[in-house]
Amino acid sequence: MASPRQRLDEILVDQQFYPDKLSAAAAVMAGEVLVEGQRESKPGTRLRADVRLSVRGEPMPCASRGGLKLAHALDRFGVDVTDRVCPDAGASTGGFTCLLQHGARHVHAVDVGYRQLRGYLAADDRVSVYERTNVSDIGLLAPEPAFCSVDLSYLSLTRALPILRGRIAGDRGSGD
């Protein structure tokens, strides 16, 4: 009996090459995935679940390239986020939640978008998800933040920074 066919991106997640279908699909479209030694460019291609797969290159340690950039900045400027609670304003897919990999205790992922955050991050108990939420609409956050990462395109920093500053521990009264 032939084994059942399944989408390539689903097989990649099942075989733990990638944490979610979005990451797997991106890798397939980027030409990083080989099926039986041949490049496959369509994440929805249906294959046997026991197909031989290989992945070229290094797996991305963060949810997006934005996370790589933030990780470099934290290192370069000597910022220690160990045991801190951090809002990620403009969370999108969750690249800046790499703060967790750098020891942050909790991340408040805030974004006006919906269902963009990687599934494994949305399911993480250390992440509070605020979808369809403009930074200017957030109230006081619990647990209380001590550091903030910002990557916004819909709201100017001159408007966002005073709001976020008012949400960070030890800086009450400076926002809104």
The average pLDDT across 136-144 equals 84
Q: Residues 59-105: pLDDT tens digits?
A: 667 777 788 889 899 999 999 999 999 999 999 888 787 899 899 99
Half-sphere exposure for 165 (CA within 13 Å, toward CB): 11
> Would you say residue 87 lies in a domain?
yes
pLDDT of residue 74: 93
pLDDT of residue 173: 45
pLDDT of residue 175: 41
- Residues 80, 156, single domain; the answer is yes
The average pLDDT across 135-157 equals 85
On whether the CB atoms of residues 28 and 41 are closer than 8 A, the answer is yes
- Residues 142, 84, single domain; the answer is yes
Task: Look at the chain and report how many structural domains it folds into.
Answer: 2
Q: Which of 3-17, 59-73, 154-168 has the lowest mean pLDDT?
A: 59-73
- What sign results for the dihedral spanned by CA atoms 67, 69, 71, 73? negative
* Residue-number span of the structural domain to which 148 is assigned: 65-165
pLDDT of residue 166: 84
- Residues 97, 155, single domain; the answer is yes
**Mean pLDDT in the chain?**
86
Q: What is the pTM of this model?
A: 0.69
Residue 87, domain CATH: 3.40.50.150
Residue 174 has pLDDT above 80, yes or no: no
Instruction: Tell me how far apart the 2 most distant CA atoms of the chain are, in Å.
Output: 69
User: How sure is the predictor about 139, in pLDDT bands with cuts at 50, 70 and 90?
Assistant: confident
On whether the CB atoms of residues 63 and 22 are closer than 8 A, the answer is no
For residue 33, give the 3-state DSSP assignment. Answer: strand
For residue 107, the cross-strand partners are 86, 127
- Residues 82, 102, single domain; the answer is yes
